Amino acid sequence: MRNTLPMLTTTTKKSFLALTALLAIVLASCSTPQQGTMTKVRIAYLPNVHGLPLYLALEKGYFTDEGLDVDLVKFEAPNQAIDALLSNQVDVGGGVASGIIAVSESKKPNSIKIISLQGGTEEFRNEALVVKTDSAINSFADLKGKKLGHLPGIQWQTVAKLLLARNGLIAGKDTTLVDLAFSTQVPALASGQIDALLAIEPSPTIAEGKGIGKVIVKSPTLQYIASPFYGGAAAITTKLIAEQPEVAAKILHVFKKATDEVAANPNAARPYLKNYTPLDDELIKKVPLLLYKTYDELEEKDIAALQAFYDMFAEYEIINEKIDARSLIYAPSR
């Protein structure tokens, strides 16, 4: 059959090739619209329930939607995550220890700002005192001569000292305190390395779910420190706020969106604990969630509760003078 297509001249061929190349570039840019504009953000987290808004935001692509490429860094101890923030190794912390932020303020002022809080109430369990299922220990008072495990770092060490003191015991004299990273807590209880565990979620739920332990005191911090008790926080470095305000604004927007979503429908958010915590599908259905609030939702009672928690560090001379809790909460004008 005779070819009826017109012959291309040299000039026409060049124009056609140029147009084809341009079209290829346009199509490539359309297929990957954000690759050239993504901003790297380093976020620290601990494998706890406090970080649920962060996990949801990651899984739903909220950071990507804002042009943010997240480098997620996992820590097993609260003090390690705060140290990373203080040294600017990370830009943001999700579900980190709010108490250590206060301690860091006394040593390196105006380095970190809290953008959301996570804590316990009578409805939401933040932490629990857990013992083995066959243990005769029924209260903090029964811990005389025993070993009590807790998360490493000054926050939970000080909380443990206070709870023991309020029950007539002296840490280090009557009761031995043992630092335990998340992944070692339940195994330490199971093996008898410790007699009891003061732990935040999900460790109590894992201990119960595996038949290793039982909760004997739910949320003791509510009785002895503050109610609500905000043991966790999401935080951002002031360096990022000052040097990249547009990026900081995007991060704030993502945390606000995700936190509001978790607060509106906690049970729908539960599945996002998978892959970020040691919880399996069955335990995810059972683990107690928390009260989640962003900086712009905090009421006076929330600030007062955080202040009561921070005053504990002055009481135990961890810091030389009291830290103003309000000054650590992010505000657009600061």
How is 118-134 classified by DSSP, letter by letter?
EEE-SSS--EEEEEETT
Question: Residue 154 belongs to a domain with what CATH number?
Answer: 3.40.190.10
Instruction: Please state the domain count of the chain.
Output: 2
31-47 average pLDDT score = 79
Which of 183, 218, 253 is a domain's end point?
A: 218
Q: Which parts of the chain fold into alpha helices (H)?
A: 10-31, 52-59, 62-65, 78-86, 98-107, 154-166, 182-191, 203-209, 220-224, 238-243, 245-264, 266-269, 281-286, 300-315
Residue 286 lies in a domain: yes
Predicted confidence at residue 36, as pLDDT, reads 62
Same domain, residue pair 264 and 289:
yes
Same domain, residue pair 72 and 205:
no
Residue 143 lies in a domain: yes
Euclidean distance between CA atoms 280 and 277, whole angstroms: 8
* Helix, coil or strand: residue 178: strand
Residue 20 lies in a domain: no
| Per-residue confidence band for 34, with pLDDT thresholds at 50, 70 and 90 | very low
187-208 average pLDDT score = 98
* Helix, coil or strand: residue 43: strand
Q: What is the mean pLDDT of the chain?
A: 91
- pLDDT per residue over 122-160, tens digit each? 999 999 999 999 999 999 999 999 999 999 999 999 999
Same domain, residue pair 94 and 60:
yes
Same domain, residue pair 233 and 320:
yes
26-38 average pLDDT score = 52
Same domain, residue pair 306 and 232:
yes
In the block, residue with structure tokens 């909460």: 329
pTM score, whole prediction: 0.87
Same domain, residue pair 48 and 131:
no
Residue 10 lies in a domain: no
Same domain, residue pair 108 and 171:
no
φ, ψ of residue 192 in degrees (nearest 5): 85, 10
Same domain, residue pair 146 and 96:
no
In the block, residue with structure tokens 């101890």: 77
Same domain, residue pair 278 and 249:
yes
Which of 218, 247, 278 is a domain's end point?
A: 218
Predicted confidence at residue 37, as pLDDT, reads 87
Residue 16 lies in a domain: no
Q: What percent of the chain has pLDDT over 90?
A: 87
Same domain, residue pair 321 and 232:
yes
Torsion sign, CA atoms 102, 104, 108, 114:
negative
Residue 24 lies in a domain: no
Residue 94 lies in a domain: yes
Same domain, residue pair 205 and 71:
no
Range of the domain at 311: 39-123+228-328
- pLDDT per residue over 71-104, tens digit each? 999 999 999 999 999 999 999 999 999 999 999 9
> Does residue 69 register a pLDDT over 80?
yes
Which amino acid is located at 106 in the chain? S
- pLDDT per residue over 211-261, tens digit each? 999 999 999 999 999 999 999 999 999 999 999 999 999 999 999 999 999
Residue 167 lies in a domain: yes
326-333 average pLDDT score = 92
Which of 200, 218, 236 is a domain's end point?
A: 218
Same domain, residue pair 86 and 113:
yes
